[in-house]
Protein backbone atom coordinates (compact mmCIF):
# COMPACT_ATOMS: atom_id res chain seq x y z
CA UNK A 1 0.00 0.00 0.00
CA UNK A 2 1.30 3.41 -0.95
CA UNK A 3 1.88 5.97 1.78
CA UNK A 4 2.42 9.70 1.26
CA UNK A 5 4.66 11.84 3.47
CA UNK A 6 5.08 15.61 3.29
CA UNK A 7 8.77 15.52 3.93
CA UNK A 8 11.71 13.68 5.44
CA UNK A 9 15.44 14.26 5.97
CA UNK A 10 16.64 11.17 4.16
CA UNK A 11 14.85 8.77 1.83
CA UNK A 12 16.27 5.42 0.76
CA UNK A 13 14.39 4.14 -2.25
CA UNK A 14 13.64 0.79 -3.81
CA UNK A 15 15.88 -1.52 -1.79
CA UNK A 16 15.33 -5.03 -0.55
CA UNK A 17 14.60 -4.43 3.13
CA UNK A 18 15.76 -7.18 5.47
CA UNK A 19 14.36 -6.00 8.78
CA UNK A 20 16.55 -7.90 11.27
CA UNK A 21 13.81 -10.12 12.68
CA UNK A 22 14.46 -13.00 10.27
CA UNK A 23 11.41 -12.17 8.11
CA UNK A 24 11.85 -12.50 4.32
CA UNK A 25 13.13 -9.46 2.42
CA UNK A 26 10.56 -7.06 0.95
CA UNK A 27 11.01 -4.32 -1.64
CA UNK A 28 10.49 -1.02 0.15
CA UNK A 29 11.54 2.58 0.72
CA UNK A 30 12.79 3.78 4.09
CA UNK A 31 12.23 7.37 5.28
CA UNK A 32 14.25 8.95 8.08
CA UNK A 33 13.64 12.11 10.08
CA UNK A 34 16.12 13.23 12.73
CA UNK A 35 17.63 10.15 14.37
CA UNK A 36 14.66 7.89 13.60
CA UNK A 37 13.11 5.80 10.86
CA UNK A 38 9.65 7.30 10.30
CA UNK A 39 8.26 5.01 7.62
CA UNK A 40 9.01 1.78 5.76
CA UNK A 41 7.00 0.74 2.69
CA UNK A 42 5.92 1.98 -0.72
CA UNK A 43 6.42 5.70 -0.03
CA UNK A 44 5.69 8.91 -1.90
CA UNK A 45 7.53 11.80 -0.28
CA UNK A 46 6.81 15.36 -1.39
CA UNK A 47 10.16 16.69 -0.28
CA UNK A 48 13.18 14.63 0.84
CA UNK A 49 16.33 16.59 1.74
CA UNK A 50 18.53 13.71 0.56
CA UNK A 51 17.82 10.55 -1.42
CA UNK A 52 19.80 7.31 -1.66
CA UNK A 53 18.88 5.05 -4.55
CA UNK A 54 19.04 1.48 -3.25
CA UNK A 55 17.76 -0.29 -6.42
CA UNK A 56 19.32 -3.73 -6.53
CA UNK A 57 20.75 -3.27 -3.02
CA UNK A 58 19.84 -4.58 0.40
CA UNK A 59 18.83 -2.33 3.32
CA UNK A 60 19.37 -3.80 6.80
CA UNK A 61 19.71 -2.59 10.37
CA UNK A 62 23.24 -1.47 11.24
CA UNK A 63 25.28 -4.43 12.45
CA UNK A 64 25.85 -4.85 16.18
CA UNK A 65 29.27 -6.24 17.05
CA UNK A 66 28.50 -7.89 20.38
CA UNK A 67 32.09 -8.84 21.17
CA UNK A 68 34.77 -6.18 20.87
CA UNK A 69 37.79 -4.66 22.53
CA UNK A 70 37.18 -1.22 21.02
CA UNK A 71 37.02 0.67 24.37
CA UNK A 72 40.02 2.85 23.50
CA UNK A 73 39.59 2.76 19.70
CA UNK A 74 36.33 4.72 20.09
CA UNK A 75 38.48 7.61 21.34
CA UNK A 76 41.74 7.10 19.42
CA UNK A 77 40.04 6.57 16.03
CA UNK A 78 36.65 8.21 16.41
CA UNK A 79 35.67 7.05 12.90
CA UNK A 80 36.16 3.51 14.26
CA UNK A 81 37.15 2.68 10.68
CA UNK A 82 37.61 -1.11 10.96
CA UNK A 83 34.02 -1.41 12.18
CA UNK A 84 32.18 1.41 10.40
CA UNK A 85 33.63 0.27 7.05
CA UNK A 86 31.98 -3.15 7.41
CA UNK A 87 28.55 -1.80 8.39
CA UNK A 88 28.85 -1.98 12.17
CA UNK A 89 26.88 0.80 13.89
CA UNK A 90 27.12 -0.44 17.50
CA UNK A 91 29.92 -2.18 19.41
CA UNK A 92 29.75 -3.90 22.80
CA UNK A 93 33.06 -3.05 24.49
CA UNK A 94 34.75 -4.33 27.66
CA UNK A 95 34.68 -8.03 26.86
CA UNK A 96 36.84 -10.89 28.18
CA UNK A 97 37.22 -9.32 31.64
CA UNK A 98 39.03 -6.29 30.23
CA UNK A 99 37.49 -2.82 30.21
CA UNK A 100 39.22 0.54 29.87
CA UNK A 101 37.43 1.81 32.98
CA UNK A 102 37.34 1.93 35.96
CA UNK A 103 41.15 1.68 36.01
CA UNK A 104 42.34 2.66 39.50
CA UNK A 105 45.68 0.81 39.54
CA UNK A 106 48.99 2.65 39.28
CA UNK A 107 50.69 -0.50 37.92
CA UNK A 108 51.33 -1.22 34.25
CA UNK A 109 48.36 -3.23 32.96
CA UNK A 110 49.30 -6.93 32.84
CA UNK A 111 48.44 -9.00 29.70
CA UNK A 112 45.80 -9.21 28.33
CA UNK A 113 44.75 -5.85 29.80
CA UNK A 114 47.55 -4.27 27.76
CA UNK A 115 45.50 -5.00 24.60
CA UNK A 116 43.11 -2.24 25.65
CA UNK A 117 44.64 -0.17 28.46
CA UNK A 118 47.76 1.66 27.44
CA UNK A 119 50.16 2.53 30.20
CA UNK A 120 52.08 5.05 28.11
CA UNK A 121 49.21 7.38 27.50
CA UNK A 122 47.67 8.50 30.77
CA UNK A 123 45.14 10.68 29.00
CA UNK A 124 43.54 7.45 27.84
CA UNK A 125 43.12 6.13 31.40
CA UNK A 126 39.87 6.52 33.28
CA UNK A 127 39.57 5.92 37.00
CA UNK A 128 35.77 5.84 36.86
CA UNK A 129 33.27 4.61 34.32
CA UNK A 130 31.64 8.01 34.59
CA UNK A 131 34.84 9.70 33.36
CA UNK A 132 35.01 7.34 30.36
CA UNK A 133 31.37 7.90 29.58
CA UNK A 134 31.79 11.70 29.86
CA UNK A 135 34.73 11.59 27.43
CA UNK A 136 32.69 9.58 24.89
CA UNK A 137 29.91 12.12 25.22
CA UNK A 138 32.33 15.04 24.79
CA UNK A 139 34.05 13.47 21.76
CA UNK A 140 31.43 11.20 20.22
CA UNK A 141 32.61 8.46 17.86
CA UNK A 142 30.96 7.56 14.56
CA UNK A 143 29.17 4.54 16.04
CA UNK A 144 27.29 3.59 19.21
CA UNK A 145 28.86 1.83 22.19
CA UNK A 146 27.49 -0.57 24.79
CA UNK A 147 30.02 -0.82 27.63
CA UNK A 148 30.68 -3.79 29.89
CA UNK A 149 32.88 -3.64 33.01
CA UNK A 150 35.69 -6.21 33.15
CA UNK A 151 36.45 -8.38 36.16
CA UNK A 152 40.22 -8.27 35.50
CA UNK A 153 40.11 -4.47 35.40
CA UNK A 154 38.31 -4.45 38.78
CA UNK A 155 40.74 -7.01 40.24
CA UNK A 156 43.77 -4.93 39.25
CA UNK A 157 42.29 -2.01 41.18
CA UNK A 158 41.23 -3.90 44.29
CA UNK A 159 43.97 -6.50 44.82
CA UNK A 160 47.70 -6.40 45.51
CA UNK A 161 48.14 -9.87 43.96
CA UNK A 162 46.03 -11.46 41.25
CA UNK A 163 47.05 -15.09 41.76
CA UNK A 164 44.56 -15.74 44.56
CA UNK A 165 40.82 -15.42 45.20
CA UNK A 166 39.65 -11.97 46.34
CA UNK A 167 38.97 -11.49 50.07
CA UNK A 168 35.54 -10.42 51.31
CA UNK A 169 36.80 -6.85 51.66
CA UNK A 170 38.17 -6.86 48.10
CA UNK A 171 34.93 -8.30 46.74
CA UNK A 172 33.05 -5.53 48.52
CA UNK A 173 35.30 -2.92 46.95
CA UNK A 174 34.86 -4.43 43.45
CA UNK A 175 31.10 -4.63 43.91
CA UNK A 176 30.99 -0.95 44.83
CA UNK A 177 32.94 0.03 41.70
CA UNK A 178 30.78 -2.22 39.54
CA UNK A 179 27.56 -0.85 41.06
CA UNK A 180 28.69 2.75 40.51
CA UNK A 181 29.55 1.92 36.89
CA UNK A 182 26.18 0.27 36.29
CA UNK A 183 24.39 3.20 37.89
CA UNK A 184 26.28 5.47 35.48
CA UNK A 185 25.11 3.43 32.49
CA UNK A 186 27.36 0.40 31.98
CA UNK A 187 25.40 -2.43 30.36
CA UNK A 188 26.95 -5.36 32.17
CA UNK A 189 29.94 -7.26 33.46
CA UNK A 190 32.48 -9.53 31.77
CA UNK A 191 35.03 -12.11 32.85
CA UNK A 192 38.11 -13.59 31.21
CA UNK A 193 38.55 -16.57 33.51
CA UNK A 194 41.01 -18.15 31.08
CA UNK A 195 43.56 -15.36 31.66
CA UNK A 196 46.10 -15.08 34.50
CA UNK A 197 44.65 -11.87 36.08
CA UNK A 198 41.21 -13.49 36.34
CA UNK A 199 42.01 -17.20 36.59
CA UNK A 200 42.33 -17.41 40.38
CA UNK A 201 38.82 -16.04 40.85
CA UNK A 202 36.58 -18.91 41.92
CA UNK A 203 32.99 -19.12 40.70
CA UNK A 204 31.81 -17.69 44.05
CA UNK A 205 33.79 -14.47 43.46
CA UNK A 206 32.27 -14.08 39.99
CA UNK A 207 28.81 -14.78 41.36
CA UNK A 208 29.20 -12.17 44.11
CA UNK A 209 29.98 -9.50 41.51
CA UNK A 210 27.33 -10.65 39.04
CA UNK A 211 24.72 -10.22 41.79
CA UNK A 212 24.94 -6.49 41.11
CA UNK A 213 23.53 -7.01 37.60
CA UNK A 214 19.82 -7.78 38.04
CA UNK A 215 19.02 -4.36 39.55
CA UNK A 216 20.27 -2.77 36.31
CA UNK A 217 19.06 -5.43 33.87
CA UNK A 218 22.76 -5.99 33.21
CA UNK A 219 24.20 -8.82 31.13
CA UNK A 220 27.06 -11.13 32.15
CA UNK A 221 29.44 -12.06 29.29
CA UNK A 222 32.21 -14.59 29.83
CA UNK A 223 35.37 -15.76 28.16
CA UNK A 224 35.17 -19.05 29.99
CA UNK A 225 37.85 -20.69 32.10
CA UNK A 226 38.52 -23.26 29.42
CA UNK A 227 37.37 -23.77 25.80
CA UNK A 228 39.46 -26.90 25.25
CA UNK A 229 39.54 -30.14 27.22
CA UNK A 230 37.47 -28.59 30.07
CA UNK A 231 34.89 -27.01 27.75
CA UNK A 232 31.91 -28.83 29.22
CA UNK A 233 32.88 -28.17 32.85
CA UNK A 234 33.32 -24.51 31.93
CA UNK A 235 29.86 -24.34 30.36
CA UNK A 236 28.40 -25.86 33.54
CA UNK A 237 30.24 -23.33 35.70
CA UNK A 238 29.03 -20.47 33.49
CA UNK A 239 25.37 -21.45 33.68
CA UNK A 240 25.56 -22.18 37.44
CA UNK A 241 27.13 -18.81 38.19
CA UNK A 242 24.57 -16.88 36.15
CA UNK A 243 21.65 -18.84 37.58
CA UNK A 244 22.77 -18.17 41.15
CA UNK A 245 23.36 -14.49 40.40
CA UNK A 246 20.00 -14.23 38.62
CA UNK A 247 21.35 -12.59 35.45
CA UNK A 248 21.36 -13.35 31.72
CA UNK A 249 24.64 -14.77 30.43
CA UNK A 250 26.45 -14.65 27.09
CA UNK A 251 29.12 -17.25 26.35
CA UNK A 252 31.79 -15.31 24.49
CA UNK A 253 33.28 -16.55 21.20
CA UNK A 254 31.99 -20.09 21.57
CA UNK A 255 34.48 -22.55 20.11
CA UNK A 256 35.98 -26.03 20.41
CA UNK A 257 39.56 -25.06 20.98
CA UNK A 258 41.70 -28.17 21.24
CA UNK A 259 42.06 -31.67 19.86
CA UNK A 260 40.23 -33.06 22.89
CA UNK A 261 37.02 -31.27 21.82
CA UNK A 262 37.41 -30.87 18.06
CA UNK A 263 34.24 -32.19 16.45
CA UNK A 264 32.21 -31.88 19.65
CA UNK A 265 30.32 -28.67 18.85
CA UNK A 266 27.04 -30.55 18.41
CA UNK A 267 27.35 -31.60 22.06
CA UNK A 268 28.38 -28.17 23.33
CA UNK A 269 25.48 -26.57 21.45
CA UNK A 270 23.11 -29.13 22.93
CA UNK A 271 24.44 -28.21 26.40
CA UNK A 272 23.82 -24.53 25.68
CA UNK A 273 20.30 -25.27 24.42
CA UNK A 274 19.53 -27.27 27.54
CA UNK A 275 20.64 -24.36 29.74
CA UNK A 276 18.62 -21.92 27.60
CA UNK A 277 15.48 -23.88 28.42
CA UNK A 278 16.04 -23.00 32.12
CA UNK A 279 17.61 -19.53 32.09
CA UNK A 280 18.49 -16.63 29.78
CA UNK A 281 21.51 -17.66 27.72
CA UNK A 282 23.16 -16.43 24.55
CA UNK A 283 26.47 -16.88 22.76
CA UNK A 284 28.58 -15.15 20.17
CA UNK A 285 30.92 -16.51 17.52
CA UNK A 286 33.37 -15.18 14.93
CA UNK A 287 33.68 -16.70 11.44
CA UNK A 288 37.28 -17.98 11.44
CA UNK A 289 39.17 -21.13 12.46
CA UNK A 290 41.83 -19.03 14.19
CA UNK A 291 41.58 -17.07 17.43
CA UNK A 292 43.79 -14.25 18.67
CA UNK A 293 45.04 -12.93 21.98
CA UNK A 294 48.28 -12.14 23.77
CA UNK A 295 51.23 -14.54 23.47
CA UNK A 296 50.41 -17.43 25.80
CA UNK A 297 52.49 -20.59 26.04
CA UNK A 298 49.48 -22.79 26.76
CA UNK A 299 48.06 -21.93 23.31
CA UNK A 300 51.05 -23.46 21.49
CA UNK A 301 49.93 -27.03 22.01
CA UNK A 302 46.37 -26.75 20.61
CA UNK A 303 47.46 -24.65 17.58
CA UNK A 304 48.37 -25.92 14.12
CA UNK A 305 49.90 -22.57 13.20
CA UNK A 306 50.65 -19.32 15.04
CA UNK A 307 51.13 -15.88 13.47
CA UNK A 308 52.65 -13.12 15.60
CA UNK A 309 50.23 -10.14 15.71
CA UNK A 310 52.56 -7.77 17.58
CA UNK A 311 55.72 -7.84 19.66
CA UNK A 312 57.27 -5.05 21.67
CA UNK A 313 60.64 -6.80 21.88
CA UNK A 314 60.82 -7.58 18.14
CA UNK A 315 58.37 -5.28 16.33
CA UNK A 316 59.31 -6.64 12.87
CA UNK A 317 57.98 -10.07 13.94
CA UNK A 318 54.41 -8.78 13.47
CA UNK A 319 52.78 -10.77 10.66
CA UNK A 320 55.36 -13.58 10.67
CA UNK A 321 54.83 -17.23 11.55
CA UNK A 322 56.12 -18.17 14.98
CA UNK A 323 57.50 -21.41 13.49
CA UNK A 324 59.64 -19.46 10.99
CA UNK A 325 60.98 -17.21 13.73
CA UNK A 326 61.80 -20.19 15.95
CA UNK A 327 63.59 -21.92 13.03
CA UNK A 328 65.60 -18.77 12.34
CA UNK A 329 66.55 -18.46 15.99
CA UNK A 330 67.12 -22.21 16.25
CA UNK A 331 64.94 -22.52 19.35
CA UNK A 332 61.59 -23.99 20.42
CA UNK A 333 58.26 -22.24 19.82
CA UNK A 334 57.99 -21.59 23.56
CA UNK A 335 61.46 -20.01 23.69
CA UNK A 336 60.71 -17.86 20.65
CA UNK A 337 57.47 -16.74 22.28
CA UNK A 338 59.33 -15.81 25.44
CA UNK A 339 61.75 -13.61 23.49
CA UNK A 340 58.89 -11.86 21.68
CA UNK A 341 57.06 -10.89 24.89
CA UNK A 342 55.08 -8.81 25.42
CA UNK A 343 53.15 -9.53 22.27
CA UNK A 344 50.15 -11.11 20.62
CA UNK A 345 49.39 -14.11 18.45
CA UNK A 346 46.87 -15.54 16.00
CA UNK A 347 46.21 -19.19 16.83
CA UNK A 348 44.81 -21.70 14.34
CA UNK A 349 43.15 -23.90 16.92
CA UNK A 350 39.66 -24.74 15.61
CA UNK A 351 38.12 -26.99 12.97
CA UNK A 352 36.01 -25.64 10.11
CA UNK A 353 33.11 -28.04 10.79
CA UNK A 354 32.77 -26.78 14.36
CA UNK A 355 32.98 -23.14 13.30
CA UNK A 356 30.23 -23.66 10.72
CA UNK A 357 27.98 -25.61 13.08
CA UNK A 358 28.30 -22.93 15.76
CA UNK A 359 27.77 -20.09 13.26
CA UNK A 360 24.65 -21.76 11.88
CA UNK A 361 23.03 -22.35 15.28
CA UNK A 362 19.96 -20.11 15.67
CA UNK A 363 21.19 -18.80 19.04
CA UNK A 364 24.55 -17.68 17.63
CA UNK A 365 25.18 -13.91 17.49
CA UNK A 366 28.05 -12.51 15.46
CA UNK A 367 30.86 -10.87 17.44
CA UNK A 368 34.21 -10.04 15.87
CA UNK A 369 36.50 -10.20 18.94
CA UNK A 370 38.75 -7.93 16.84
CA UNK A 371 41.84 -6.59 18.58
CA UNK A 372 42.22 -3.05 17.28
CA UNK A 373 45.68 -1.96 18.46
CA UNK A 374 47.71 -4.92 17.14
CA UNK A 375 50.28 -4.09 14.44
CA UNK A 376 49.22 -7.13 12.36
CA UNK A 377 45.71 -7.89 13.62
CA UNK A 378 43.59 -10.97 13.04
CA UNK A 379 41.47 -10.23 9.91
CA UNK A 380 38.29 -10.58 11.99
CA UNK A 381 38.80 -6.94 13.04
CA UNK A 382 37.97 -5.69 9.52
CA UNK A 383 36.21 -8.67 7.96
CA UNK A 384 33.83 -10.45 10.33
CA UNK A 385 30.44 -9.16 9.17
CA UNK A 386 30.99 -9.20 5.37
CA UNK A 387 32.53 -12.66 5.76
CA UNK A 388 29.36 -14.00 7.38
CA UNK A 389 27.15 -12.33 4.73
CA UNK A 390 29.34 -13.08 1.71
CA UNK A 391 31.38 -16.19 2.34
CA UNK A 392 29.13 -18.10 4.74
CA UNK A 393 25.61 -17.03 3.69
CA UNK A 394 25.87 -16.32 -0.08
CA UNK A 395 28.75 -18.59 -1.13
CA UNK A 396 28.62 -21.50 1.34
CA UNK A 397 24.82 -21.16 1.79
CA UNK A 398 25.12 -21.96 5.47
CA UNK A 399 21.95 -19.93 6.11
CA UNK A 400 19.74 -17.45 4.20
CA UNK A 401 20.73 -13.77 4.14
CA UNK A 402 17.76 -12.90 6.38
CA UNK A 403 19.09 -15.27 9.04
CA UNK A 404 22.65 -13.94 8.72
CA UNK A 405 21.30 -10.41 9.27
CA UNK A 406 19.18 -11.46 12.28
CA UNK A 407 22.30 -12.91 13.94
CA UNK A 408 24.04 -9.54 13.71
CA UNK A 409 21.10 -7.21 14.42
CA UNK A 410 17.73 -8.23 15.90
CA UNK A 411 19.00 -11.07 18.06
CA UNK A 412 21.92 -8.99 19.34
CA UNK A 413 19.74 -5.98 20.25
CA UNK A 414 17.32 -8.23 22.07
CA UNK A 415 20.09 -9.96 24.04
CA UNK A 416 21.64 -6.68 25.21
CA UNK A 417 18.30 -4.91 25.73
CA UNK A 418 18.94 -2.24 23.08
CA UNK A 419 15.48 -0.75 22.62
CA UNK A 420 14.77 0.56 19.12
CA UNK A 421 17.93 -0.94 17.63
CA UNK A 422 18.58 -3.96 15.41
CA UNK A 423 15.38 -3.59 13.36
CA UNK A 424 14.17 -1.64 10.33
CA UNK A 425 10.80 -0.38 11.53
CA UNK A 426 8.98 2.94 11.83
CA UNK A 427 9.98 4.40 15.20
CA UNK A 428 13.32 2.59 15.45
CA UNK A 429 16.62 4.48 15.46
CA UNK A 430 18.10 5.22 12.05
CA UNK A 431 21.01 2.78 12.21
CA UNK A 432 21.15 1.24 8.70
CA UNK A 433 23.42 -0.38 6.14
CA UNK A 434 22.90 -0.41 2.37
CA UNK A 435 24.96 -3.09 0.65
CA UNK A 436 25.23 -5.14 -2.53
CA UNK A 437 24.51 -8.74 -1.57
CA UNK A 438 26.13 -10.06 -4.75
CA UNK A 439 29.40 -8.23 -4.04
CA UNK A 440 29.69 -8.11 -0.27
CA UNK A 441 32.92 -9.75 0.85
CA UNK A 442 35.64 -9.59 3.46
CA UNK A 443 38.82 -8.26 1.88
CA UNK A 444 40.93 -8.62 5.03
CA UNK A 445 43.12 -11.76 5.03
CA UNK A 446 45.68 -13.24 7.41
CA UNK A 447 48.35 -11.76 5.12
CA UNK A 448 46.66 -8.39 4.57
CA UNK A 449 44.43 -7.93 7.57
CA UNK A 450 43.53 -4.23 7.43
CA UNK A 451 41.61 -3.99 4.16
CA UNK A 452 38.08 -2.57 4.16
CA UNK A 453 35.21 -4.81 3.07
CA UNK A 454 33.81 -4.82 -0.46
CA UNK A 455 30.16 -4.17 -1.30
CA UNK A 456 29.20 -1.76 1.51
CA UNK A 457 27.47 1.26 -0.11
CA UNK A 458 26.36 3.32 2.82
CA UNK A 459 26.25 3.19 6.62
CA UNK A 460 23.84 5.38 8.59
CA UNK A 461 24.14 5.99 12.34
CA UNK A 462 21.31 7.67 14.29
CA UNK A 463 19.95 9.08 11.04
CA UNK A 464 23.22 10.50 9.67
CA UNK A 465 25.31 9.08 6.81
CA UNK A 466 28.64 8.07 8.36
CA UNK A 467 30.17 5.98 5.54
CA UNK A 468 29.56 6.29 1.80
CA UNK A 469 31.39 5.37 -1.40
CA UNK A 470 34.22 3.69 0.46
CA UNK A 471 35.02 6.48 2.90
CA UNK A 472 33.90 8.04 6.16
CA UNK A 473 31.86 11.24 5.89
CA UNK A 474 33.21 12.78 9.10
CA UNK A 475 29.86 12.31 10.83
CA UNK A 476 30.14 11.53 14.58
CA UNK A 477 26.66 10.65 15.72
CA UNK A 478 27.46 7.60 17.83
CA UNK A 479 26.04 7.41 21.35
CA UNK A 480 26.74 5.56 24.53
CA UNK A 481 23.77 3.22 24.94
CA UNK A 482 23.16 3.07 28.66
CA UNK A 483 21.26 0.40 30.56
CA UNK A 484 17.57 1.19 31.13
CA UNK A 485 18.07 1.60 34.90
CA UNK A 486 20.83 4.21 34.69
CA UNK A 487 20.33 6.69 37.50
* Binding residues vs Zn ion (CB under 5 A): 96, 223
Measuring CA to CA, which residue among 10, 89, 12, 3 is closest to residue 58?
Answer: 12
d(CA 293, CA 347): 8
Contact 431, 87 (CB under 8 A): no
Query: Does residue 285 interact with Cu ion by CB under 5 A?
Result: no
- Shortest spacing between CB 98 and Zn ion, in angstroms: 9
Among positions 369, 374, 431, 457, the unique one binding Cu ion when judged by CB under 5 A: 369
User: Does position 96 bind Cu ion by CB under 5 A?
Assistant: yes
Closest CB to Zn ion among residues 26, 296: 296
Helices 265-276, 352-360: axis angle to 10 degrees equals 20
Minimum distance of Zn ion from residue 112's CB (angstroms) = 8
Site string for Cu ion, 24-63 (x = CB under 5 A): ----------------------------------------
Distances (CA, A) of 219 to 175, 224, 280, 331, 365: 15, 15, 10, 45, 15
HSE-CB of 188 using CA atoms within 13 angstroms: 29
Nearer to Zn ion, 92 or 96 (CB): 96
Residue 71 lies near Cu ion (rule: CB under 5 A): no
3-state secondary structure of 130: helix
CB of 291 to Cu ion, least distance (A): 9
Q: Which is nearer to Cu ion, 61 or 344 (CB)?
A: 344
Minimum CB distance to Zn ion smaller for 39 or for 91: 91
Name the nearest CA neighbour of 389 among 84, 121, 110, 18. 18
* Closest distance to Cu ion from the beta carbon of 463 (Å): 30
Q: Provide the minimum distance between the beta carbon of 104 and Zn ion in the complex, in angstroms, as a whole number.
A: 23
Smallest CA-to-CA distance from 63 within 429, 286, 366, 370 is with 366
Query: Do strands 36-53 and 26-33 pair parallel, antiparallel, or not at all (unpaired)?
Result: antiparallel
Stretch that binds Cu ion, among 1-9, 87-95, 383-391, 427-435 (CB under 5 A): 87-95
Q: What residue is closest to Cu ion based on CB?
A: 96
Contacts of 329 (CB under 8 A, 6+ apart): 335, 336, 339
Question: Which residue lies nearer to Cu ion by CB, 294 or 401?
Answer: 294
- Distance of closest approach, residue 369 Cβ to Cu ion, in angstroms: 4
What 3-state DSSP class applies to 353? helix
Q: 464 contacts which partner out of Cu ion, Zn ion, none, CB within 5 to 8 A by kind?
A: none
Residues at the site binding Cu ion, with contacts judged by CB under 5 A? 95-96, 369
Amino acid sequence: MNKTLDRCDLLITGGQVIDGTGCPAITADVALQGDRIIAVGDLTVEKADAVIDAQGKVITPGFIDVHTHDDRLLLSNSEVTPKLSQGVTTVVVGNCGVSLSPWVSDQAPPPPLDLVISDKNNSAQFSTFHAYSAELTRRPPAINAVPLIGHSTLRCGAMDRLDRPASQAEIKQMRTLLRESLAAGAAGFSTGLFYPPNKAAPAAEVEALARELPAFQGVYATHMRNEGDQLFESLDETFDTARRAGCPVVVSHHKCQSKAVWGRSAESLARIEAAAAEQTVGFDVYPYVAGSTVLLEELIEPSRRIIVSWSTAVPEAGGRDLADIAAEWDCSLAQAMMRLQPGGGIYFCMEEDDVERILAHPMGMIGSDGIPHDTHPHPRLWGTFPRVLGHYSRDRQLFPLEEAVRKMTGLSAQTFGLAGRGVVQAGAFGDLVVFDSSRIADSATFEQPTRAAAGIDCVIVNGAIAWQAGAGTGSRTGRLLKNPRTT
